[in-house]
Amino acid sequence: MYCGSLASISNKKSVMAVAISVVLVVSLLGSSYGFHFPAIYNLGDSNSDTGSVSATFGRVPPPYGESFFGRPSGRYSDGRLIIDFIADKLKLPFLSAYLDSIESNFRHGANFAASGSTIQPADGDLFGAGFNPLSLDIQLLQFEQFKERTKELYDKAKNPDFSDRLPRPEEFSKALYILDCGQNDLHYGLITTTEEQVKASIPYIISQFAVAIEKLYQEGARIFWIHSTGPIGCLPVFVINSPPKPENADPTGCIKSYNEVAQEFNKQLKDRISQLRAELLGAKLIYVDIYSAKYSLISEANQYGFVGPFISCCGHFGDYHVECGKTTVVNGTKIFGASCGEPTKHISWDGIHYTEAANQWVANRIFDGSLSDPLVPITKACL
């Protein structure tokens, strides 16, 4: 029999009521702010490579990386990439490149993206044209080995400093898987075949992309954030070196037919993702319209405080060509591909890749989910 006073009973009820209220508030806040991703695994090309190619084929030279890192960081930009801003938005550290052995930390994911890589398996023709042999199928093999070896090493690790640099095996299925690739497949086709032939090759390229998604799913991946390809016809390397004829230039000055190829690729990509949603039970596949974000920035560059979209900050195109960070001889004079000094006012960094300022603008544009299918902010992608 309980012998306490009525006052003590009342106090205990009050404490219990407060405790229940706290639990409810915490629960509501958890659903409002979304699940916290423990890791990111990224596959792609130079739009998201944080050091793979630099570690494998030679360090990216200065002035790459100057704006944020103060030195080359393995990124093909003056600073951060969209993937860096995504990591920051999700309160995770920048991703270490899987192939970079110096100071890498994979506790919160890994980056398998490689500059110059394609979705379609690399062959002699692609490699001969200057593209990377680390195509999407190879990146997938790297991920599979990474996951397998992580599980082996994590269980055996006796040094906490070592295990703290590895992802938790149980977190692979809770991570966010990002794919940002396809631009180089189109680039290769446009410089080696006709536009119609490139369009004819898209179904095969998309089929290879779908195979990669399915294999990641089999490895336990469940949440995918998939970027469309950007407006390739707006890259200064094409517009300046091969100016479009008036009838093939859009109102911004981009190469209309090249962008139509990119749009066809994105249409087929989005359709295939829709099919995969029905096939991969329990998976969430989010298509992100990067094309619209980038084209909006390019077509309204002045409105957003940037100079003309075809003016690269680093290197030079046109009457003579010198690549960013490299030296060439023009009329007997050595010329270095230097930075413009004001990369924050430029969209294009080196004629192919975007500046940190442009990457940040695009990242902020896609975070709220308004350009996603389904419409979901990245912070709530798992709900």
For residue 100, pLDDT over 50 is answered with yes
Q: What is the pLDDT of residue 5?
A: 42
**How much is the pTM?**
0.90
Give the position of tokens 């003056």: 78
Nearest C-alpha neighbor of 67 from the set 364, 381, 355: 355
In angstroms, the CA 68 to CA 250 distance is 34
Cα atoms in the Cβ-side hemisphere of radius 13 Å centred on 109: 28
Q: Looking up tokens 């995504």, which residue turns up?
A: 86
- Of 106-115, 151-160, 164-173, 300-309, minimum mean pLDDT range: 151-160
Question: Phi, psi (5° rounding) for residue 4?
Answer: -70, 165
Radius of gyration, alpha carbons of the chain: 24
Burial environment of residue 103 by CB neighbours within 10 A (0 to 12, 13 to 18, 19 or more): exposed
Q: Is the pLDDT of residue 256 over 90?
A: yes
How far apart (Å, rounded) are the C-alpha atoms in residues 197 and 193?
Answer: 6
Q: Which two tokens stand for residue 329?
A: 């001889």
Alpha carbon distance 98, 104 (integer Å):
8
**Does pLDDT of 68 surpass 70?**
yes
pLDDT at 157: 72
Q: What is the overall mean pLDDT for the chain?
A: 91
**pLDDT tens-digit profile of 4-56?**
443 443 444 444 444 444 334 434 444 444 469 999 999 999 999 999 999 99
Percent of the chain with pLDDT over 90: 84
Beta bridge partner(s), residue 288:
227, 372
**Predicted local confidence at residue 13, as pLDDT:** 45
Per-residue pLDDT for 228 more than 70?
yes
H-only helix segments in 95-135? 124-128
On whether the CB atoms of residues 169 and 39 are closer than 8 A, the answer is no
- 44 forms beta bridges with 180
Q: Read off the tokens for 119.
A: 């979705």
Contact 321, 306 (CB under 8 A): no
pLDDT more than 70, % of the chain: 89
Position 22 scores a pLDDT of 39
With beta carbons less than 8 A apart as the criterion, state whether 85 and 360 touch: yes
pLDDT tens-digit map of 122-137: 999 999 999 999 999 9
Question: Omega into 38 within 30° of 0, i.e. cis?
Answer: no
Cβ(178)–Cβ(225) below 8 Å: yes
**According to the model, what pLDDT value does residue 316 have?**
87
Name, in order, each residue with C-beta under 8 angstroms of 64's C-beta and a sequence gap of 6 or more: 72, 73, 75, 76, 77, 78, 314, 324, 325
Q: Give the CA distances from residue 240 to residues 52, 206, 311, in Å, rounded to whole numbers and listed in that order.
A: 29, 29, 9
Phi, psi of 284 (to 5 degrees): -125, 115
Which pLDDT tens digit goes with each residue over 178-220? 999 999 999 999 999 999 999 999 999 999 999 999 999 999 9
Going by pLDDT thresholds of 50, 70 and 90, the confidence category of residue 158 is low
Longest dimension (CA), the chain: 103
Cβ atoms of residues 166 and 107 within 8 Å:
yes
Residue whose tokens read 């709900």: 383
The length of the chain, given as a count of residues? 383
Q: Report the DSSP beta bridge partners of residue 178.
A: 42, 225
What is the pLDDT confidence band of residue 60, given thresholds at 50, 70 and 90? Answer: very high
Q: Which of 124, 141, 137 is nearest to 205 (CA)?
A: 137
Q: Which of 178, 184, 213 is nearest to 117 (CA)?
A: 184
**Average pLDDT in the 347-362 region?**
98
Report, as residue numbers or ranges, the catalytic residues: 46, 350, 353
